[in-house]
Structure 1
Amino acid sequence: MLTVLIVASLSAVPLASGQSRFLGNIIASSVPSNWDTYWNQATAENGCKWGSVQSVSAYSFNWGQCDITYNHCTSKGIPFKYHTFVWGSQEPGFIDSFSDQKAAVLSFMERAAARYKPQFIDVVNEALHAPSSIREAIGGAGITGWDWIVFSFEQARTLFPNAKLLINEYGIINDSSAVQRYLEIINILKGKGLIDGIGIQCHQFNINPLSAATVTGNINSLGGTGIPVYPSELDINADTEAEQAEIYQRVFPALWTNSYVKGVTLWGYITGQTWIEGTGIVESNGRERQSITWLKSYLEANKV
C-alpha cells in the first residue's frame, strides 16, 4: 500500500516542475483527475469572463466556475490567471442597452478584486480583433488612440496592485505586421507603467503552419520591449497523432526556450473536451497521445 501511494505522488508532479517558467492549462467546470500530473498554472476556460459571471442580469454575479479554478490554484500553490475583464466577445447580454456601461464594468472588476488575488490578469483581450462594445463609455480612442485600454489597465492596477497585468491577442505569433500594431498599444501601456506581460494566443489556426524561425522572430520583436511574453491558448491539431506531434516538435521549443518567454498556457488537453476538434493530447480514457509523450520527454531533457 505504501508503494502505491508513493507512485501516485510521483505521478502528480507537473511537467514543468522546478523550471523557471510555468506550463499551464485551462480548467472548465471541474478539475480533471489527471490535471495535476501535467500542469502548474491555470486559467479558467470561461468561468471568469464577464458574460459568464453576469449572464443573468447587471445585478447578479455567478462566480461558481471561476471559484473552481482559483480554489484549485490556491490549494496547489500555483499561479492563477484571471481571464478576462474587457473583451468584445462573451460580454453579458444586458450591457448593450445598459444606461451606465462604465459603472457596470467597474462593478464587475471590483467584485472580482474583492474575491480573488490572481497572480496574472488578462485585462484586455483581443483589442485588435474583438474590441469591447463598451469602449466609447470607458474612454474611446481619446488622446492615445487607445484610451479605453489605458482606462482598463489603470483600474486593474488600482484594484489588483500585486497582480501582473497582461494584454492578450490572437493573430500575432504568425504575423509581423500585426506585431507592429500590437506594439503600438503595448508601448503606450509601457510608457504609463501599466503592463507586466504580453499575451500571444497560439491557437492552431495561427501556429500550425509556422516555422520555428517565424515563431522566434515575432516573439523577439515583442520581447524587445523588455516586457515578458506569455504564449497563451496553445492548441495544435492534425489529421494524425504523428502529424500533431511533429507540429509540437517544430514550434514548442521555439516558444519554451525563448528567453523572453516566462510561461506557456495550453487551451485544453483532453480529447473531446477542447474547444476545437482534434487538439486533445490525452484521450478521455487517459491514454497519452504522441504529442504529450514527446512533450514529457522534451521538458525532462530541456530544463530552463
Structure 2
Amino acid sequence: MLRHRLRFLLVPFSFLALELQAQNAPVVQQAETGTVGADWTTPTQTGVQYVTVVPTAMINSNNPGTAARIITYSVTFPGPGSYDLYARIRVGTGAANDDSFYYGNGFGTKTATDDTNWITANQLSGVGYTNATEVVGNAGGGQQQVWKWLNLSTFNGGEAPVAFTVTAGNLTQTFQVGAREDGLDIDKFVFGTTGLYFTVANLDAGAQGSSTPPTVFTPTGLPMATGKPKFLGGVHSVPQKPFFNNYFNQVTPENAGKWGSVESTRNVMNWAELDSAYALAQSKGYSFKLHTLIWGAQQPIWIETLPAAEQLAEINEWFAAVAQRYPNITQIEVVNEPTNDLPLNGSTGNNGPNTPGSGAGNYYNALGGAGTTGWDWVITSFELARRYFPNAQLMINDYGVMSSMTSAQRYLGIVNLLVARNLVDGVGIQGHAFETRNVSAANLAANLALLATAGKPLYITELDIDGVNSAMPPQLDDAIQLAEYQRVFPALWEHPAVRGITLWGYRPGHWRTTQGAYIANGDNTERPALVWLKNYVRTTVLSTKSNQNAALTLSPNPAAGGHFVLQGLEKAQTVRVLDLNGRLVKEVKGANQTTVDVSLQVTPGLYVVQVQDAYGVTSRKLVVE
C-alpha cells in the first residue's frame, strides 16, 4: 500500500517539474556588459547604452574574422531547457549596409575565422517589432533608425537560425556575438523559453511570455488576378512573404536580386533570398521577374575601383551566374532607372550625387558611356542580356515617367533606341506614391499612351500608395489610402497597354512603412484599401478589344516631303507625330474627322504617328523621305 501511495505522489511532482522547466524566467543580458572586443564601442544616447562596431572597411562574409570583433558573455540560466534568442537592435542610416552581425552557433567560445561557428543575421533593416503589444516573431515591419526587437532563433537572415539548449548542471554558459557591418547598434539580448510568446512589452521589461498563441487573422482564397489576362504581383522579401499566395500571382524580389545583395564580397555569392523568391514562382507557376541586373545603386563596392576591362568582365560573370542559376526567368529588368541614376561616381542625377563607396558601381564607361547615341551603356547592357538570357523578356525600368510627359518623352527615346535594335520586350514604369499623388488619372493615362507608342507592352513595376494623413506626426488614415487606390489603380489596371502590375510591398516592413503604404497589418488583418482591391480586381471585367485601330492607314508611306494622309479613323480627337526620342514634332487637336491631312517640316527619317480616337490610342511608324 505504501509503494502505491508514493507512486501516486511522485507523478504530480514530475508534471510540476516539467511545468516549471517550461516556464523558466527570461534572462536579460545588456549588450555592453560582456567582454567587449577592441573594435567595439559602448556609447550612450538618450539614456540607452549600447554596443556598436567602429567604422571599418572589413566585412567578413561568414565570420567575424578577428577576436577584436567579438563580444563574450557569461550567462546564467534559472533552469535547463530550450531558449530562443531575442535582440533589441537599431539599424543605421545605411539601411542594407548597416543591418547584419553574427551570433554564436550554440553556446561556447567560438573561433573567429571558422564559418561553422557563427550564424549570420543579415537583412535586418526592414524587419523587427516596435509596438508594445506585438508578439515578436520572425518578421515584423520595423525600419531603420528605431529600436526594435527580433527573435533571432526564428528569423533566417542568411543562415538557418538556432535555439539554445541549456542542460541540468550546466546553467552558466558562454555566449558570443561578432561584428559584420558597422552602423548596427545592439542594446540587449533576452533568452526566452522556446514555445512561449513574448511581446515587445514583455521583452522591454524582462517579463515572462505567454503560453497562449496570439489571435491572428488568416487570409484565404486564390490570388486576386487569378483567371485574369493581366497579373497582379507582389514584391518578395522576408516581411512580405506571409500569405503571398493568397494575393499575388507574379513574383519580383525586392532587394535579393540586386548585385550588391548577391555579391557584396567579390566571388562570394549570397543567393539565399533570391533562391526563395525563384522557388516560390517555380512551385506555383507564377511569372518571375528579376530585379535588377544593372543600376546606379546597391552595386558591389569592390567593383568601383577596378579597371574598365575588368569591370566589364565582372559584369559578364554576374550575368552568366544569374543565367545559370535561374534558367526559367520570365522577365528581367536589365537596366533600372537609367534617366535617374547612372552607374557612375560623380553622377548628379535625381538619386545623386553618386559618391565613391555609395554603391553606384562606377562601371558606366566600361559599358560604353554615352557613346554616339547618348545611351550606349544601356544598349550594351541589353546586348549582353540578350546573349545570356535568350528566352527571357528583357525590360527597362524607371520612375517619374508616368507623372511627367517631359520625363516620359526622354524615357521613350531610350526605349525606341532599344526597339530599333530588337533588344527590349517590355517597358517598366514605377508607380510609387510620390509619382501618382496630385497627378490626374487622365494625365497618367496620357503618359502611358505615349510610352505605348514604342509598340511594347507596359508593366507597372513598383506600385505603392501611402496611407497616412497630414497630421504631425502623420497618423494612419485608411480613408485617404482607400480613396487614392480607387482613383489611381483603375487608371492603370484598365489601361489596354498595361499587361501587369506589381505592388512594391503590402505588409509592414514595406519600404514606405512610415508613410503607411502597407495595405495589410502586422496581424494580417486587411486595411480597407486591400478589401476594396480584392473585390475590384476579382470582379472587374477587362476589355479584350485592342486599343489599336486596325483600320488606320497612312499614305503615302514613305511620305515624300513629309506630307501624308490618315484614313480609317473613328473621328480622330488628337494626332501627334513624335521623333524616335519621343519629342513632339507636330500635334493636331480636335480634328474630329475620319480623314486627316498632315504636312511635316522635318528632316528625313523614321517617326511615330499617334492617333487618339474612339478606339483609344493607335500608333503607326512613318518614314519621311
Paired residue type of 1:43: T
How far, CA to CA, are the matches of 2:434 and 2:537 in structure 1? 24
CA shift digits 1:102-134 (9 cap, x unpaired) = 111111111000011210000000001111221
CA shift digits 1:172-212 (9 cap, x unpaired) = 11111000000110000000000001101111111122211
Paired residue type of 2:367: I
Paired position in structure 2 for 1:227:
456
**Secondary structure in 2 matching 1:303:** coil
**Secondary structure in 1 matching 2:238:** coil
**Secondary structure in 2 matching 1:216:** helix
CA shift digits 1:255-278 (9 cap, x unpaired) = 0001100000010000x2100121
Contact 2:467/2:518 (8 A) holds in 1? no
Within the alignment, does 1:89 sit opposite 2:326 as a pair?
no
Paired position in structure 1 for 2:338:
127
Paired residue type of 2:335: V
Contact 1:30/1:68 (8 A) holds in 2? no
CA shift digits 1:152-188 (9 cap, x unpaired) = 1011111111111100001111111000000110000
Deviation at 1:232, TM superposition (A): 1.1
How far, CA to CA, are the matches of 1:107 and 1:303 in structure 2? 45
**Secondary structure in 2 matching 1:127:** coil
Contact 2:239/2:509 (8 A) holds in 1? no
CA shift digits 1:22-51 (9 cap, x unpaired) = 000111137633110000001000001000
How far, CA to CA, are the matches of 2:409 and 2:245 in structure 1? 37
Within the alignment, does 1:273 sit opposite 2:481 as a pair?
no
Paired position in structure 1 for 2:279:
71
Paired position in structure 2 for 1:163:
392
Q: Percent identity?
A: 42
Paired residue type of 2:336: N
How far, CA to CA, are the matches of 1:159 and 1:258 in structure 2? 32
How far, CA to CA, are the matches of 2:389 and 2:483 in structure 1? 40
Paired residue type of 1:241: D
How far, CA to CA, are the matches of 1:123 and 1:232 in structure 2? 13
Paired position in structure 2 for 1:55:
264
Deviation at 1:142, TM superposition (A): 1.2
CA shift digits 1:188-247 (9 cap, x unpaired) = 000000000110111111112221101111101111221100011100103211100100
Paired position in structure 1 for 2:322:
112
Relative contact order, higher structure (CA 8 A, sep 6+):
1
**Secondary structure in 2 matching 1:254:** helix
Instruction: Please give the residue correspondences for 1:12-23 in structure 2 after superposition, counting only pairs within 5 Å.
Output: 12-23=221-232
How far, CA to CA, are the matches of 2:522 and 2:316 in structure 1? 40
Count of residue pairs brought into register by the alignment: 293
Within the alignment, does 1:203 sit opposite 2:414 as a pair?
no
More helix by share: 1
Instruction: Please give the residue correspondences for 1:145-160 in structure 2 after superposition, counting only pairs within 5 Å.
Output: 145-160=374-389
Contact 1:22/1:264 (8 A) holds in 2? yes
Paired residue type of 2:312: K
Within the alignment, does 1:238 sit opposite 2:467 as a pair?
yes
Paired residue type of 2:248: W
Instruction: Please give the residue correspondences for 1:135-150 in structure 2 after superposition, counting only pairs within 5 Å.
Output: 135-150=364-379
Runs (4+) of structure 1 moved beyond 6 Å? Answer: none
TM-score normalized by the length of structure 1: 0.94
**1:32 aligned to which of 241, 266, 269:** 241
**2:445 aligned to which of 203, 212, 216:** 216
How far, CA to CA, are the matches of 1:268 and 1:262 in structure 2? 19
* Structure 2: runs of 5+ lacking an equivalent: 1-218, 345-362, 469-476, 543-625
* Structure 1: runs of 5+ lacking an equivalent: 1-9
How far, CA to CA, are the matches of 1:244 and 1:105 in structure 2? 41
How far, CA to CA, are the matches of 1:201 and 1:109 in structure 2? 23
How far, CA to CA, are the matches of 1:95 and 1:33 in structure 2? 35
Within the alignment, does 1:287 sit opposite 2:525 as a pair?
yes
Contact 1:201/1:234 (8 A) holds in 2? yes
More strand by share: 2
Contact 2:240/2:505 (8 A) holds in 1? no
Deviation at 1:96, TM superposition (A): 0.9
How far, CA to CA, are the matches of 2:320 and 2:239 in structure 1? 25
CA shift digits 1:252-301 (9 cap, x unpaired) = 0010001100000010000x210012110000101100111110111122
Paired position in structure 1 for 2:486:
249
**Secondary structure in 1 matching 2:292:** strand
How far, CA to CA, are the matches of 1:233 and 1:31 in structure 2? 14
How far, CA to CA, are the matches of 1:11 and 1:293 in structure 2? 12
Contact 1:29/1:68 (8 A) holds in 2? no
Paired position in structure 1 for 2:255:
46
CA RMSD of aligned residues (A): 1.2
How far, CA to CA, are the matches of 1:136 and 1:261 in structure 2? 34
How far, CA to CA, are the matches of 1:198 and 1:148 in structure 2? 18
**2:536 aligned to which of 294, 298, 302:** 298
Contact 2:459/2:498 (8 A) holds in 1? yes
**Secondary structure in 2 matching 1:84:** strand
Paired residue type of 1:162: N
Paired residue type of 2:448: I
Paired residue type of 2:449: N
